[in-house]
Structure 1
Amino acid sequence: MHETDVIVIGGGTGGYSTALRAAALGLEVVLAERDLVGGTCLHRGCIPSKAMLHAAELVDGIAEARDRWGVKASVDAIGWPALTATRDDIVARNHRGLEGHLSHAGVRVVRGSAALTGPRTVRITTGPAAPDEVRNATGPAPEEVWTARRGIVLATGSRPRTLPGLEPDGRRVVTSDDALFAPGLPASVLVLGGGAIGVEYASLHRSMGARVTLVEAADRLLPLEDTDVSRHLTRGLKKRGIDVLTGARLEGAETYDNGVRATVRTARGEVRTVDAERLLVAVGRVPVTDGLGLAAAGLGPDARGFVAPADWSRLETAVPGIHVVGDLLPPPSLGLAHASFAEGLLVAETLAGRPPRAVEYAAVPRVTYSSPQTASVGLSEAEARTAGRDVVVNTMPLTALAKGMVHGQGGMVKVVAERGGAVLGVHLVGPHVSEMIAESQLVVGWDAEPGDIAQHIHPHPTLSEAVGEAFLTLAGRGLHQV
């Protein structure tokens, strides 16, 4: 039996941020991780996918240089081994840096599968083997039993949702966790799911030359975003040659040696057959709680598999001293890495005895790194009106400004504000808008009014100038916008 102040189960973004902050506050921390610290985001999601999307942007840039700017250039071939080697090097360097950071901070990382045995105790089956491999190993697996003086943090993350009868094989049918690591570049892809992950992978494969069909059951892409965001995004993807089917459902799929044949019912009731080398299932993610031993601590997942906190201001469950961060949390948590960082900071500071400051989920930015990109923070127009707010709305096309014309990709800035009051939401579509949303996070988070922002000068010519112009108009000081 060992003792420590804090035990963190899971070394993804929520878990390691909790561990680092708790250690910085003088607490003794044990972090249990059965795979690699960094979790899905670092090894299978955010980082490798954005590395690949950057490569895709370079490919798109060559096409634009040739077709729009008269630069005689072409892509002769995409060297898959070199491309993936660069991606893997970026991941590996980040992983080494994180391991070093945890070590320097004094966090004790224990490699193994952890399970609750009580409200303050955890059993860690040590070693790199997964639980099934541990049971099949020769002889008993080594174990460590730990007691937490301050508390336990559950941060075991999520895995891709799969569909019955459509089991991933890593080659013809893939999930978002293994899509980047499937062999080679396919000539055609059917992407099932029009949320952020599905849209990003559809965009990536199209840039790499694949024929792409994107199927979404809802009546629009990114159904949780503002309708104008969905409209501009869909227009941009279709312009790039992606076949977008919304309000459509997969009715069946068969796998063959060289691909997949799927049957899709469209919004009009028509039945289409789609042949593709690869089917990417991107229909959401589900929390990972199997083997976590929740019942032993008096806990259990809700009907959707989440572990809900009893106190959102502390992210503490009904069992005192057990906290939850990351993808285990139900909405309004967003299942985003940067939200997990904030949750980890909150829980660590709570365990250290500091007054909790709840995460303001409405002010957390949401980004889709496709081409075009989308970025939003706060309420959509529909959400604001449903909430009974008297709103005013202004939409500024990026092509109304010189820098938007230079980029030539369309897009817009949309501001939703309370009439005579604060800004409720900001929504962007276009090139590089992921780098523009931070300003709007502050606007929404600090309840600023359009007139407050209109006092500040945005550089000319930039895309960010469109944000400033949108606020100027709402403040009654419109310059380039009538």
Structure 2
Amino acid sequence: MSGNSTDVIVIGGGTGGYSTALRAAHLGLGVTLVERDLVGGTCLHRGCVPSKAMLHAAELVDGVAEARERWGVKATLDSVDWSALVATRDDIVSRNHKGVEGQLSAAGVTVVRGTATLAGPRTVRVDVPGAGGTELWTARRGLVLATGSRPRTLPGLEPTGEHLVTSDDALFAPGLPRSVLVLGGGAIGVEYASFHRSMGAEVTLVEAAERLLPLEDADVSRQLTRALKKRGITVLTGARLLDAHLTGAPPADAHRSGAGQTGAGQTGAGQTGAGAPGGGVAARVQPARGDAMLITAERLLVAVGRVPVTDGLNLAAAGLTTDERGHVPPADWATLETAVPGVYVVGDLLPPPSLGLAHASFAEGLVVAETLAGLAPRPVDYAAVPRVTYSSPQTASVGLSEAAAKDAGHEVAVNMLPLTATAKGMVHGQGGMVKVVAEPGPDGRVLGVHLVGPHVSEMISESQLAVAWDASPADIAQHIHPHPTLSEAVGETFLTLAGRGLHQHA
């Protein structure tokens, strides 16, 4: 067994891991990054990047229907060439992957391909596949755990990769199904429901909580649910899955999600490679009211959350334990150092208030790397981390919901403005809203901002600064928003709270 030492060992090459490695290397530390699969992790290869590529394609499909039905552009959709769509998605992923590998190489990070097992607080045994054997690595300054998460599965519902899938393999299942049952109404489930509806599938979205996106503001949930139903998606909240099983080809008269409904992007055009060849899933769902329903679909997508990956890591060898949900909690949230000195944790291994979001992982990686380099970075402000759902319409939020602000003891002033109150909102014609939760008065702190509508993922950063910097409505109201844009709806909402409303009055 060969022995090696370095300043920092990072286990896991996802967003949290490779950002830690890059920043530490840029600060002059020797870094070894151990990754058993591909650097970039779930976000780059199975989640954020490929899913957003597919959602962009879905937006283009919806645009054809909008052009024809709303703008008089006599466009038709002949078909969706699944193989071409997949090739473009994979090219985007590949180029990003090569970019990350190139950055790690240029920074001098040593990337070891293999499976890591802890042999001590700062000692790692790496099993290298093939003839690589086993390497033993020791970290002089610190060990960083960044092994990420995997989709949560349900007993008796093991993924097949075709008719029963998770968010990790839904994009890589063969062809476009004609009907989909999505289990889970969080961000991931909503995004996949939106994508499949745009691509012509009949979709049912089942959520056990009383509303979609249950962690978001209630008005966000209401607006989104209304929009998804308008698109022809059947939404069942307060519903639970009783059981499900694989079937043969679904009968023609079986209940299918959204059957007979037409939404944006539904052209009836054929799809190259569409439809899972024979078979599907039959599920019994208990809605909030009434009798249990039998729902059949070509594909069941389980999107009920994710669980931390620590299998085989041998945390006990380093003196580490997990909490009841499998997370590795830090002893110090300012530095993300665990109870074992010199061992740090980033990304999906962290419990709340960490959010399990890629952009939060980047920030965590910066904090840990700078701490290891002897700097004193500012801790991650989790209250100011934006949350985005890339469905159609999108949602974007930062800070506290109205209910959470009241629960925290704040007296609140709330203002809502529909996007259609602006000229650009009318142009897009998708509805949506801006909602601001603040302390009363022009100089009260902005506590939360919540957006629903087209492209709001690109609009939330201004509000992030408002929340993070404890700005007031008066602070934001003095800044001029361009006209006509969707962003001026944000400006108008703050103007009203500051007592200066132009088109809206408190």
Match of 2:480 in 1: 457
* Amino acid aligned to 1:234: T
The residue aligned with 1:370 is 391
Q: Which residue matches 2:465?
A: 442
Counterparts of 1:116 and 1:467, CA distance in 2: 49
With normalisation by structure 2, the TM-score equals 0.92
In the aligned structure 2, how far is the partner of 1:56 from the partner of 1:237?
Answer: 14
What displacement does 1:254 show?
A: 1.4
Q: Which amino acid aligns with 2:145?
A: L
* Structure 1, gaps ≥5 residues long: 130-139
Q: Are 1:475 and 2:477 an aligned pair?
A: no
Shift, 1:468, TM fit: 0.1
Q: Which AA in structure 1 matches 2:14?
A: G
Deviations 1:7-45 (A, max 9, x none): 000000000000000000000000000000000000000
Tell me the residue number matched to 2:126.
Answer: 124
Residue of structure 2 equivalent to 1:308: 329
Q: Distance in 2 between the 1:5 and 1:350 partners?
A: 13
Q: 1:126 offset after TM fit, Å?
A: 1.1
Matched residue SS, 2:120: coil
- SS state of the match for residue 61, structure 1? helix
Distance 2:328 2:286 in 1: 35
What is the rounded CA distance, in whole Å, between the counterparts of 2:116 and 2:173 in structure 1? 30
Question: Is 1:51 aligned to 2:53, yes or no?
Answer: yes
CA distance, structure 2, for counterparts of residue 254 and residue 30 of structure 1: 45
Q: Distance in 2 between matches of 1:55 and 1:376?
A: 24
How far residue 300 of structure 1 moved from its aligned partner, in angstroms, is: 1.2
Alignment counterpart, residue 143 of structure 2, candidates 135, 138, 152:
152
Q: d(CA) in 1 for partners of 2:451 and 2:127?
A: 47
Q: Which moved more, 1:417-426 or 1:201-210?
A: 417-426
Q: Distance in 1 between matches of 2:433 and 2:97?
A: 36
* One-letter identity of the residue aligned with 2:169: D
Deviations 1:366-395 (CA, angstroms, capped at 9, x unpaired): 000000000000000000000110100000
Matched, 1:67 2:69: yes
Aligned twin of 1:132: none
Provide the rounded CA distance (Å) in 2 between the counterparts of 1:248 and 1:111.
Answer: 43
CA displacement, residues 176-203 of structure 1 (integer Å, 9 cap, x when unaligned) = 0000000000000000000000000000
Distance 2:345 2:429 in 1: 44
Could you list the per-position Cα deviations for residues 416-475 of structure 1 after superposition, in whole angstroms to 9, with x for gaps in the alignment? 001131100000000000000010000000000000000000000000000000000000
Shift of 1:118: 0.4
Cα distance in 1 for residues equivalent to 2:77 and 2:45: 28
Q: Of 113, 133, 141, which residue of structure 2 is paired with 1:142?
A: 133
Instruction: Give the letter aligned to residue 171 of structure 1.
Output: E
Deviation at 1:328, TM superposition (A): 0.2
In the TM superposition, 1:231-270 aligns within 5 A as: 231-257=222-248, 258-270=279-291
Equivalent AA in structure 1 for residue 94 of structure 2: A
AA aligned opposite 1:440:
S
- For residues 329 and 377 of structure 2, the distance between their equivalents in structure 1, rounded to whole angstroms, comes to 18
Match status 1:411 vs 2:432: yes
Matched residue, 1:135: none
Residue 227 of structure 1 is matched in structure 2 by 218
**Structure 2: runs of 5+ lacking an equivalent:** 249-278
Structure 1 letter corresponding to 2:151: P
Secondary structure in 1 aligned to 2:485? coil
**Cα distance in 2 between the residues matched to 1:410 and 1:434:** 15
Q: Does 1:348 align with 2:369?
A: yes
2:303 aligns with 282
Q: State yes or no: 1:161 paired with 2:152.
A: yes
CA distance in 2, matches of 1:35, 1:436: 34
- The one of 167, 171, 185 equivalent to 1:180 is 171
Per the alignment, in what secondary structure is the counterpart of residue 473 of structure 1?
A: helix
- Counting aligned pairs with the same residue, the percent is 79
> Aligned equivalents of 1:44 and 1:313: distance in 2?
30
Find the counterpart in structure 2 of residue 13 from structure 1: 15
In 2, Cα distance between the equivalents of 1:120 and 1:171?
41
**Given residue 461 of structure 1, which amino acid in structure 2 is its aligned partner?**
P
Counterpart-to-counterpart distance in 2, 1:13 and 1:98 = 10
**Deviation of 1:269 (Å):** 3.7
Letter in 1 for 2:434: V
Whether 1:425 aligns to 2:448 is yes
**CA-to-partner distance for each residue in 1:114-148, whole Å, 9 max, x for gaps?**
11110111111113x7xxxxxxxxxx860110110
User: Partners of 1:232 and 1:86 in 2: how far apart?
Assistant: 32
| 1:64-90: CA deviation from partner (whole Å, max 9, x where unpaired) | 000000010111110000000000000
Q: Distance in 1 between matches of 2:378 and 2:137?
A: 29
Q: What's the counterpart of residue 91 of structure 2?
A: 89
Distance 1:298 1:320 in 2: 10
Structure 2 equivalent of residue 137 of structure 1 = none
Report the alpha carbon displacement of residue 270 of structure 1 after superposing the two structures with TM. 2.1
Give the Cα separation in 2 of the matches to 1:278 and 1:153: 38
AA paired with 1:221? L
| Distance in 1 of aligned mates of 2:39 and 2:7 | 20
Whether 2:392 is the aligned partner of 1:392: answer: no
Aligned length: 471
Letter in 2 for 1:478: G
Corresponding residue for residue 32 of structure 1: 34
Q: Which amino acid in the other structure matches residue 228 of structure 1?
A: D
Distance 1:321 1:418 in 2: 41
Q: 2:194 aligns with which of 186, 194, 203?
A: 203
Counterpart of 2:185, as a letter, is G
SS at match of 1:117: strand
Cα deviation, 1:93-120, whole Å, max 9, x if unaligned, reads 0001110110000000000001111011
Give, in angstroms, the shift of residue 356 of structure 1.
3.3
Report what 2:251 is aligned to.
none
